[in-house]
């Protein structure tokens, strides 16, 4: 299926036009979606550089490349698992509030069927924000499930080429999420916990809503124990909850559902170095596989992962899945130039429509750093969104970067950043300029 030029010009500029022209010129060599990826046996996790097909990462790289790109998107193995995914993952948390079902299905058609992205991330919590009157838990999984039903009816082999990731919610004192695991839902508020019964109920509910027999990657959205996350950065022992569910209980329940074939691999999210070490130790003690992934906030304006967590991830063979790699759209630079955009369009942007949500990404300090990265992008001849995503792709500990979009032009621009033919790897000079800004304006989005 050829890629249409429908999005050319929406992202604007010479870079986008050259990229689109290159993509179109390559369409002749495309086979059916994902053809050519089957049967390849990837080298071991710590394969020597010579064993990799297109080594581009920095020294110390530990992720493994597939030899066969999917329509220009290279694939990596996640952690020590056998999950082989494109370096770009389609995030879905706008499906159901910011995006209608029709728009969501159009995004899936484009990303998965036309561009060969094979990795989709969702959650029982989605869509966001949960404060929106239209919100109910599981709505996004249902939208995705209806698309999977359509797409796999048209192409029965598609399911086996996809890696579908979902997440169960961690601790919440009072929420309707657990009640929505029942069918029909019980719309009462109750605590959300990571105890064994909750894990099993959440897995069954996600399987039902997605309409699949197995979840490829089942993630714990955040821990049961107290952790400083979502903009809170200072650990306070007085906030600990003495009754938090031990990670060993949660993992034993995951082992049980894995033994039944309902889950293939599992991952953590919004975790700390301490939590990842505890999970790895518990998994080893239980004689089960270790987590394959950790899904944390990570972008040019939130790089805290790259110190201690990167060390733990390396030793534990766990891949990072960055979330909000554009800081929710801030790193597109559009909040710097909002006077230039039509008022109606501006009012649809996430932080205009939901000013309380993730406001740290558009704080004065965050936007000052974005302005500095925008200058670097300009000198490099690319949009700052492309620079931000290509930078995530360049990090050795990143498995696949979870992108998000509300418009098709955004989706195209973001996927292009993971195609080496369209977005060459960032040069050493560009990477050095990025690090210089980071040293001056370190992690403004953590506060």
Ligand X SMILES: NC(=O)c1ccc[n+]([C@@H]2O[C@H](COP(=O)([O-])OP(=O)(O)OC[C@H]3O[C@@H](n4cnc5c(N)ncnc54)[C@H](OP(=O)(O)O)[C@@H]3O)[C@@H](O)[C@H]2O)c1
Does 169 help bind ligand X (rule: CB under 6 A)? Answer: no
Among residues 52, 77, 350, 433, the one that binds ligand X under rule CB under 6 A: 350
Nearest-approach distance from CB 32 to ligand X, in angstroms: 27
Q: How many residues does the chain have?
A: 447
Among residues 166, 272, 293, 295, the one that binds ligand X under rule CB under 6 A: 295
Among residues 66, 410, 423, 446, the one that binds ligand X under rule CB under 6 A: 410
Of the candidate spans 46-54, 57-65, 107-115, 408-416, the one that interacts with ligand X by CB under 6 A turns out to be 408-416
Task: Kindly tell me which of 52 and 122 has the beta carbon lying closer to ligand X.
Answer: 122
Among residues 16, 258, 310, 403, the one that binds ligand X under rule CB under 6 A: 403
Task: Kindly tell me which of 84 and 121 has the beta carbon lying closer to ligand X.
Answer: 121
Does 112 help bind ligand X (rule: CB under 6 A)? Answer: no
Q: Which two tokens stand for residue 387?
A: 């620079």
Nearest-approach distance from CB 192 to ligand X, in angstroms: 14
Helical pair 101-108 and 408-416, crossing angle rounded to 10 deg: 30
Nearest-approach distance from CB 168 to ligand X, in angstroms: 11
> 309 and 297 in contact (C-beta within 8 Å)?
no
Does 270 help bind ligand X (rule: CB under 6 A)? Answer: yes
Nearest-approach distance from CB 341 to ligand X, in angstroms: 10
Does 119 help bind ligand X (rule: CB under 6 A)? Answer: no
Nearest-approach distance from CB 324 to ligand X, in angstroms: 4
Helix residue ranges, H only, 28-155: 101-108, 139-154
> 144 and 151 in contact (C-beta within 8 Å)?
no
Among residues 138, 329, 399, 444, the one that binds ligand X under rule CB under 6 A: 329
Q: Which of 40, 65, 110, 126 is catalytic?
A: 126
Nearest-approach distance from CB 53 to ligand X, in angstroms: 27
Of the candidate spans 30-38, 69-77, 203-211, 406-414, the one that interacts with ligand X by CB under 6 A turns out to be 406-414
Does 147 help bind ligand X (rule: CB under 6 A)? Answer: no
> 214 and 263 in contact (C-beta within 8 Å)?
yes
Other C-beta atoms closer than 10 Å to the C-beta of 27 total: 13
C-alpha distances (whole Å) from 435 to each of 89, 162, 303, 421 are 25, 35, 11, 25
Other C-beta atoms closer than 10 Å to the C-beta of 366 total: 26
Close Cβ partners of 65 (under 8 Å, ≥ 6 residues apart):
42, 52, 53, 54, 55, 74, 75, 76
Task: Kindly tell me which of 63 and 268 has the beta carbon lying closer to ligand X.
Answer: 268
Does 269 help bind ligand X (rule: CB under 6 A)? Answer: yes
Among residues 87, 324, 366, 441, the one that binds ligand X under rule CB under 6 A: 324
SS3 40: coil
Does 91 help bind ligand X (rule: CB under 6 A)? Answer: yes
Task: Kindly tell me which of 220 and 437 has the beta carbon lying closer to ligand X.
Answer: 220
Task: Kindly tell me which of 86 and 324 has the beta carbon lying closer to ligand X.
Answer: 324
Q: Which residue has the tokens 């999984």?
A: 141
Selection from 396, 431, 427 nearest residue 60 by Cα: 396
Among residues 70, 86, 94, 169, the one that binds ligand X under rule CB under 6 A: 94
Among residues 258, 405, 430, 437, the one that binds ligand X under rule CB under 6 A: 405
Is 126 marked active-site?
A: yes
> 55 and 47 in contact (C-beta within 8 Å)?
no
Does 423 help bind ligand X (rule: CB under 6 A)? Answer: no
Among residues 78, 385, 426, 437, the one that binds ligand X under rule CB under 6 A: 385
Does 220 help bind ligand X (rule: CB under 6 A)? Answer: no
Does 121 help bind ligand X (rule: CB under 6 A)? Answer: yes
Does 444 help bind ligand X (rule: CB under 6 A)? Answer: no
Q: Strand 263-269 and strand 190-192: pairing?
A: unpaired
Nearest-approach distance from CB 15 to ligand X, in angstroms: 12
Beta bridge mates, 398: 320
Among residues 65, 110, 298, 349, the one that binds ligand X under rule CB under 6 A: 349
Other C-beta atoms closer than 10 Å to the C-beta of 309 total: 21
First-to-final CA distance of the chain:
45
SS3 295: strand
Does 332 help bind ligand X (rule: CB under 6 A)? Answer: yes
Task: Kindly tell me which of 121 and 124 has the beta carbon lying closer to ligand X.
Answer: 121
Q: Where does 37-189 show beta strands of DSSP type E?
A: 75-77, 84-86, 88-91, 119-121, 163-168, 172-175
Does 298 help bind ligand X (rule: CB under 6 A)? Answer: no
Helix residue ranges, H only, 222-331: 247-259, 273-286, 308-316
Selection from 322, 401, 324 nearest residue 358 by Cα: 324
Give the C-alpha separation, 219 to 242, whole Å.
23
Give the C-alpha separation, 133 to 231, whole Å.
24
List residues binding ligand X (CB under 6 A): 91-94, 98, 121, 221, 269-270, 295, 323-329, 332, 334, 349-350, 385, 402-406, 410, 413-414
Just list the catalytic residues.
126
């Amino acid at each position: 299926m050829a890629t249409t030029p429908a999005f050319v010009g929406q992202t604007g500029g010479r870079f986008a036009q050259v990229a689109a022209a290159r993509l179109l010129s390559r369409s002749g060599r495309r086979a059916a979606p994902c053809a050519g990826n089957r049967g390849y046996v990837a080298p071991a996790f710590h394969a020597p550089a010579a064993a990799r097909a297109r080594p581009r990462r920095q020294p110390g790289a530990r992720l493994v490349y597939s030899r066969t790109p999917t329509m220009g998107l290279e694939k990596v193995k996640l952690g020590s698992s056998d999950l082989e995914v494109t370096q770009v993952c389609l995030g879905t948390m706008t499906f159901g509030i910011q995006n209608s079902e029709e728009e969501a299905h159009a995004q899936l058609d484009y990303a998965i069927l036309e561009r060969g992205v094979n990795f989709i991330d969702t959650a029982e919590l989605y869509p966001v924000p949960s404060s929106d009157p239209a919100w109910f838990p599981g709505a996004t999984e249902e939208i995705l499930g209806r698309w999977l039903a359509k797409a796999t009816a048209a192409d029965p082999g598609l399911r086996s080429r996809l890696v579908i990731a979902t997440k169960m919610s961690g601790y919440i004192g009072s929420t309707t999420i657990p009640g929505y695991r029942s069918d029909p839902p019980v719309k009462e508020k109750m605590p959300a916990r990571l105890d064994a019964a909750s894990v099993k109920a959440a897995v069954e509910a996600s399987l039902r809503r997605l309409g699949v027999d197995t979840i490829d990657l089942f993630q714990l959205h955040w821990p049961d124990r107290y952790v400083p996350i979502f903009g809170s950065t200072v650990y306070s022992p007085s906030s600990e909850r003495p009754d938090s569910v031990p990670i060993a209980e949660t993992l034993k329940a995951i082992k049980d559902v894995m033994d039944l074939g309902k889950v293939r691999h599992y991952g953590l999210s919004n975790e700390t170095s301490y939590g990842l070490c505890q999970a790895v130790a518990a998994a080893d003690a239980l004689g089960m596989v270790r987590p394959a992934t950790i899904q944390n906030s990570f972008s040019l304006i939130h790089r805290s992962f790259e110190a201690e967590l990167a060390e733990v991830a390396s030793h534990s063979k766990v891949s990072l899945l960055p979330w909000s790699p554009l800081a929710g759209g801030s790193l597109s630079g559009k909040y710097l130039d909002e006077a230039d955009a039509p008022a109606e369009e501006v009012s649809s942007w996430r932080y205009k429509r939901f000013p309380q949500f993730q406001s740290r990404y558009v704080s004065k300090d965050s936007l000052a750093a974005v302005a500095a990265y925008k200058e670097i992008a300009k000198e490099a001849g690319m949009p700052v969104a492309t620079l931000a995503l290509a930078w995530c792709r360049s990090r050795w500990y990143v498995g696949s970067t979870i992108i998000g979009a509300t418009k098709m032009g955004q989706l195209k621009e973001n996927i292009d950043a993971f195609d080496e033919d369209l977005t060459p790897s960032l040069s050493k000079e560009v990477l050095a300029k990025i690090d210089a800004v980071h040293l001056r304006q370190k992690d403004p989005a953590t506060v």
